[in-house]
Structure 1
Amino acid sequence: MRSCAESFTGYILRALGRDYGERLLPRGLDITLCDQLFLIASGLIWNIYFAGFAIVFGFFLATAVALARFSENPWLNRPAGAFIFFFRGSPLFIQFFFFYSAFVLLPRGGIDIPLGVVTLTVDTSPLTTAQVGGLLVLILNTTAYSAELFYGALRSIPRGDLEAADAYGMAGFTRFRRIIWPNMLRLAWPSYTNEAIFLTHSTTLVFLSAFPARQQSGEAFYYARYFVDQTFNPFFAYPLVAAYFILLTLAIIGLFGLANRRLNRHLPQEARPRLRFRPQYIR
């Protein structure tokens, strides 16, 4: 029977691959509570990876899509509206299967897919992995949801602020940087915080879809399912995953709360909007 120190050494980085801990996962009667505690914790590395990169890239892409949606040019707002409608109108789980089919199954069937910078073939490896293909799906999905939030915020910017910018002679990028963008973020930030939380929870779907976990390298829920299959006891692994994600949620609320205070630093303390977590039960 392993000690907790041995479990920590063998499994705390095991989610990165077999080169970073025990080559084989614990099985059957050899599984201890510490094994589950540290191996599931190691899987959070991938949850944080997916959520972190998706939030960063999705934030900037969502800003661009929201501006295109807000534009009066039909060549910009119609494609942006169609993009938002598609990714908000279809379930995230279906999107994972759709893109897996495009990245893996079609090239295996002899159908190469040109994407401009790369052509997907049967030998193309990065997009067929969860670490790249699954991340791309999360980026596109959160871009659509965040763009709709930012678009609504753009429409809600006080007209007086824009008129004041015009009176000061602001135009172009200066007007966007000093007036439009800060107001957009200030209005959308509480809702965007909830989107970031939900995106973090959605990372549990990556390995639940068809994207493979190579070298038994998966995220927290992947290892929780493994332990349940081995021990036939769902009353430790699943609550443990929930507890870890509650901690991640608290961390996100704290970080986004700091940003929220920064965005509203010009307002009196009693007038600053407070962040409230409002879970979305239906995506």
Structure 2
Amino acid sequence: MNACFDTMQAYGLRAIGIGERLLPKTDITLCEQMVLIGSGLIWNVYFGVLAIGFGFWFAVCLSLGRQSRFAALRLAASGFVFLFRGSPLFIQFFFAYEAFVLLPKIGITIDLGLVVIDASTGWFTKAWAGALFVLFCNTAAYSSEIFSGALQSVPNGQIEAARASGMTRFQIFRRVMFPNMLRLAWPAYMNEAIFLFHSTTLVFFSGFPAWRQEGDALYYASYFAEKTFNPFVPYPIVAGYFILLTLVIISVFTITGGHLNRSLPKERRVRPRFRLLLWR
């Protein structure tokens, strides 16, 4: 018990550079595998939370852009969604990393007249920024499809009633369309959030290097499987962690969904349901 506690102190935050620098190479224990894989899960949570948090608002903007009266805005939004929905996420990581590696070599110069600024883009080659940007774009594209369908399902009667009461276009969206869109899209959006968190395991296997072996949960599981020649211990540990993470996501979305549907009768409330996505 004391040995496991010492392992937690040494490796509990190793994935973010705190604690023992050298990984265990011989006589690897079950506790070491659980602690290090759990430490790597910090990166998965980081990517998932920030990508969902920022991608949500960008997805709403994309949904509005696809229904805009301006053809250029519709084309730009639709093209962005088609690009990120039409290509595999693994390939997106690969091309993004190669592009971010080339950017510092090309250089970005901002001429303000009195002063010239050379923008540094090297930090985009780091997983914490570059991979997060790819996940942000990917989830925004998929989520915008969900929100677009929800916007089209908002009852026209409510919109006409808002117009008749003298509301502006912005007021109609904020008070009528946006709340209804969230309520209708929430069950499907929960599945997108779950799938995004699962997709974070691709980050360190798709071009973005793990600096000083500070990787995510699957990175450490792969390391232990290679060292112990037994993949049937580390990979089930990863699966167990992600099952617990999925239960947390479902709980958060269920509570939030109940709040969104609080004004409706119980028989009309839309409840989030987890559906396994076999393809994307």
- With the shorter chain as reference, the TM-score category is over 0.9
Amino acid paired to 2:10: G
The alpha-carbon deviation at position 114 of structure 1 amounts to 6.5
Kindly tell me: are residues 240 and 115 of structure 1, through their superposed partners in 2, closer, same or farther at Cα, counting changes over 3 Å?
farther
Question: Could you tell me how far apart the structure 2 residues matched to 1:86 and 1:191 are?
Answer: 21
Checking the alignment, whether the CA contact within 8 Å between 1:7 and 1:38 is kept in structure 2 is yes
State how far apart, in whole Å, the 2-side matches of 1:281 and 1:126 are. Answer: 34
Q: Which amino acid aligns with 2:167?
A: M
CA distance in 2, matches of 1:120, 1:195: 34
Q: State the partner residue of 1:52.
A: 49
CA distance change for structure 1 residues 229 and 217 in 2, over 3 Å: closer, same or farther? same
> Distance between the aligned counterparts of 2:238 and 2:109, measured in 1?
39
For the residues of structure 2 that align with 1:140 and 1:183, how far apart are their CA atoms? Answer: 24
Q: Secondary structure at the match of 1:234?
A: coil
Correspondence for 1:260? 257
The aligned residue for residue 23 of structure 1 is: 21
> How many Å apart are 1:132 and its aligned residue?
0.4
Contact 2:103 2:122 in 1 (8 A): no
Instruction: Find the aligned partners of 2:178 and 2:103 in 1 and give their Cα distance.
Output: 41
Q: Which residue of 2 aligns with 1:4?
A: 4
* Alignment TM-score, normalising by the size of structure 1: 0.93
1:149 corresponds to which residue? 146
1:273 positional shift: 1.5
Is 2:194 the counterpart of 1:197? Answer: yes
Q: d(CA) in 2 for partners of 1:115 and 1:197?
A: 39
**Which digits, 9 at most, give the CA deviation of each residue in 1:136-158, with x for residues without a partner?**
00000001000111111111111
Residue 239 of structure 1 deviates from its aligned partner by: 0.5
Structure 1 letter corresponding to 2:48:
A
User: Residues 224-249 of structure 1, C-alpha deviation per residue, up to 9 Å, x if partnerless?
Assistant: 00100110111110001001001111
Contact 2:11–2:35 (Cα < 8 Å) also in 1: yes
Q: Which amino acid aligns with 1:27?
A: K
Task: Tell me by how many angstroms 1:277 deviates.
Answer: 0.7
Aligned to 1:167: 164
CA–CA separation in structure 1 for the residues paired with 2:276 and 2:108: 38
Residues matched between the structures, number: 275
| Identity score, percent | 57
The separation in 2 between residues aligned to 1:115 and 1:188, in whole angstroms, is 41
Which of 80, 87, 92 is residue 89 of structure 2 equivalent to? 92
Instruction: Tell me the C-alpha RMSD between the 2 structures.
Output: 1.8
Where 1:50 maps in the other structure, the secondary structure is helix
1:272 aligned to which of 259, 269, 272: 269
Structure 2 residue 229 is the aligned partner of structure 1 residue 235: no
1:224 has 2:221 as partner: yes
By how many angstroms is 1:73 displaced?
A: 1.4
Does structure 2 conserve the Cα–Cα contact (< 8 Å) formed by 1:14 and 1:39? yes
Q: How does 1:127-142 map to 2 (within 5 A)?
A: 127-142=124-139
Q: Which amino acid aligns with 1:24?
A: L
Moved more, 211-220 or 168-177: 168-177
Is the CA contact 2:183–2:270 (under 8 Å) kept in the aligned structure 1?
no
Partner of residue 101 from structure 1, selected from 98, 102, 109: 98
* Runs of 5+ consecutive residues of structure 1 not aligned to the other structure: none
For residue 205 of structure 2, give the secondary structure of its aligned residue in structure 1.
Answer: coil
TM-score between both structures, scaled by the size of structure 2:
0.94
Aligned residue type for 1:171: T
Displacement of 1:262:
0.9
For the Cα contact (< 8 Å) 2:68–2:74, is it kept in 1? yes
1:239-254 to structure 2, matched below 5 A, reads: 239-254=236-251
Aligned equivalents of 1:39 and 1:190: distance in 2?
A: 33
